[in-house]
C-alpha cells in the first residue's frame, strides 16, 4: 500500500518501479557469483525520491535490519536452485523484518517449496501454482495474546452482554413469581 516501508530480496532494481508510493525501500542483493552494478540500481532508486537502502555482498544473517520494521517484503524468482538452507535463511530474514500483519509477496519456482517454508516461519500463506511458479502472499501473524483463557472468555462475554430491561411483573430474573405470574405479596 502507499506509504509502506518495503524490503526486497532481489537481483536488481526492476521491481522498484512496481511499488507505487513507498515511504522507504530497502533492497538486499545476496552474495553471488555475479558482479552487482550498484550505479544503475541507485539511479533507479533515485527516481522514486524516497529513502533507499542497498545491501550487496552481505551474508543474509549479517544484514542489519531492525526486526518488525517493514510493512511488505518482495521475493521474486530468487530461490531457484538455491540450497534449502539458503531458502530458509532468505525467508528468515524477510519474516523477521515484517511487522505483525506485514505481507511477503512472492513468485518462486515450485521446486523452491516456498509456501511450506513460509509456513515453517508461522506465516499465514495463500498461494497457487501457476506456470511452474508458486505465486502468493504470506502474512506475518500478530504475536499471541498474553491473556489467559479466563480473561479471554470474560472479555468475550463482556462484548456479548446487552442491557436488558426486566419487568418483574412479566417474570424473568428477579421476579418473585415464575413466568408470567404476578408478584406475590
Of 6 and 179, the structure prediction assigns the larger pLDDT to 6
**Integer Cα distance of 9 and 12 in angstroms:** 9
Which tens digits make up the pLDDT trace of 94-133? 999 999 999 999 999 999 999 999 999 999 999 999 999 9
The band of 13, judged by pLDDT with boundaries at 50, 70 and 90, is confident
Tell me: the pLDDT tens digits for 17-37? 788 889 999 999 988 867 888
Task: Quote the pLDDT of residue 95.
Answer: 97
Tell me the average pLDDT of the chain. Answer: 84
Output the pTM of the full model: 0.75
Residue-wise over 51-83: b if at least 16 C-beta within 10 A, else e? ebeebeeeebeebebeeeebbbbbbbebbeebe
Given a cut of 80, is residue 147 above it in pLDDT? no
Amino acid at each position: 500500500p502507499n506509504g509502506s516501508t518495503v524490503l526486497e530480496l532481489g537481483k536488481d532494481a526492476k521491481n522498484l518501479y512496481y511499488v507505487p508510493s513507498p515511504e522507504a525501500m530497502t533492497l538486499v542483493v545476496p552474495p553471488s557469483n555475479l558482479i552487482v552494478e550498484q550505479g544503475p540500481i541507485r539511479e533507479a532508486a533515485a527516481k522514486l525520491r524516497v529513502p533507499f537502502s542497498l545491501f550487496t555482498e552481505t551474508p543474509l544473517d549479517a544484514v542489519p535490519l531492525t526486526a518488525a520494521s517493514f510493512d511488505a517484503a518482495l521475493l521474486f524468482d530468487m530461490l531457484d536452485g538455491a540450497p534449502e538452507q539458503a531458502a530458509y535463511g532468505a525467508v528468515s530474514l524477510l519474516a523477521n523484518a515484517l511487522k505483525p500483519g506485514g505481507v511477503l509477496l512472492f513468485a518462486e519456482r515450485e521446486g523452491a517449496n516456498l509456501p511450506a517454508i513460509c509456513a515453517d516461519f508461522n506465516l499465514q500463506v495463500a498461494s497457487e501454482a501457476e506456470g511452474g511458479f508458486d505465486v502468493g502472499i504470506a502474512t506475518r501473524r500478530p504475536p499471541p495474546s498474553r491473556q489467559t483463557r479466563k480473561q479471554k472468555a470474560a472479555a468475550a462475554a463482556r462484548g456479548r452482554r446487552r442491557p436488558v430491561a426486566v419487568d418483574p411483573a412479566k417474570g424473568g430474573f428477579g421476579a418473585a413469581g415464575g413466568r408470567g405470574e404476578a408478584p406475590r405479596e
